[in-house]
Amino acid sequence: MNLDQEIAHLRELMPASGRMSLKIVPTSQGSQVISTPTPKPWERNMRPIYLNVPLWEKLSRGQRDLVFLRLVAWSTTIPWLKPNWYQTLALVGVVGTVAQFTQGDAVGVVIAGGLSAIAVRQLWRNYRGAEREVEADESALKVAQRRGYNPPDAARNLLEGIEVVAELEGRSKLSFSELLRIQNLKAIAHLSTMGDPQTSRLS
């Protein structure tokens, strides 16, 4: 694998939102095949996507494309600014904490601060939860379709990529969210889940 050509290909593969916010950083260290820090709502700088080159080149072309697009989708579609109940609760908690602090009400500060902390924790769990993981897969498949993949082939490449990445990283078991993602991708790829040893781990 020619590294310069690979990086150029991946940059071309990315949607415009990815090119504006992410940069590809090759590395030969660590146990992860591909990774990026969780984006923060206040960040404005380009965020790195770390490619572990010795491991990355062991994936097939299709697997690399879909695993990469999936990470880009996950990193660029976190709905920090999408209004919901927990965001409102967190905002109310922060405002309440400031108000109680200026009034010197220690009990009020504790209550408002606790309310804000609970809301923020739930927001974090939602943005890192299984539903978000599946949504990132589906976003990646849409981009892949615009890049010439048909949906079943794209889903199959991503499904295989999940399994190969876990193997390369030395993980003997897939996580719960990875198992859910595989079931969803199998449905898109029109693959049977009957008798699948990975599927049996859900029961």
Question: Does residue 196 sit within a domain?
Answer: no
- Structural domains in the chain (count): 2
pLDDT per residue, tens digit, the chain (203 aa), is 899 999 999 999 999 988 988 999 999 999 999 999 877 666 667 899 999 999 999 999 999 999 999 999 998 876 544 444 444 544 455 555 555 556 665 665 556 556 556 555 655 555 556 778 898 999 999 999 999 999 999 999 999 999 999 999 999 899 988 999 999 999 998 874 444 444 333 32
DSSP 8-state assignment for residue 32: -
Report the alpha-carbon distance of residue 66 to residue 61 in Å, rounded: 9
Q: Give the residue numbers spanning the domain of 160.
A: 3-79+133-191
Say yes or no: 92 and 47 in one domain.
no
Side chain identity, residue 202: L
Say yes or no: 167 and 93 in one domain.
no
Question: Does residue 182 sit within a domain?
Answer: yes
Say yes or no: 176 and 121 in one domain.
no
Say yes or no: 67 and 162 in one domain.
yes
Say yes or no: 26 and 102 in one domain.
no
Strand-by-strand arrangement of the 22-27 sheet? 22-27, 47-52, 34-35
In the block, which residue shows the tokens 């990875």? 178
Say yes or no: 70 and 12 in one domain.
yes
**Taking Cα atoms as reference points, which of 139, 141, 134, 186 lies closest to residue 159?**
186
Say yes or no: 24 and 89 in one domain.
no
Say yes or no: 55 and 119 in one domain.
no
Question: Does residue 22 sit within a domain?
Answer: yes
Question: Does residue 157 sit within a domain?
Answer: yes
Question: Does residue 203 sit within a domain?
Answer: no
Say yes or no: 56 and 93 in one domain.
no
Say yes or no: 122 and 149 in one domain.
no
Question: Does residue 198 sit within a domain?
Answer: no
Question: Does residue 26 sit within a domain?
Answer: yes
Residues ≥6 apart with Cβ < 8 Å to 150:
none
Question: Does residue 179 sit within a domain?
Answer: yes
Side chain identity, residue 117: A
3-state secondary structure of 177: helix
Say yes or no: 91 and 116 in one domain.
yes
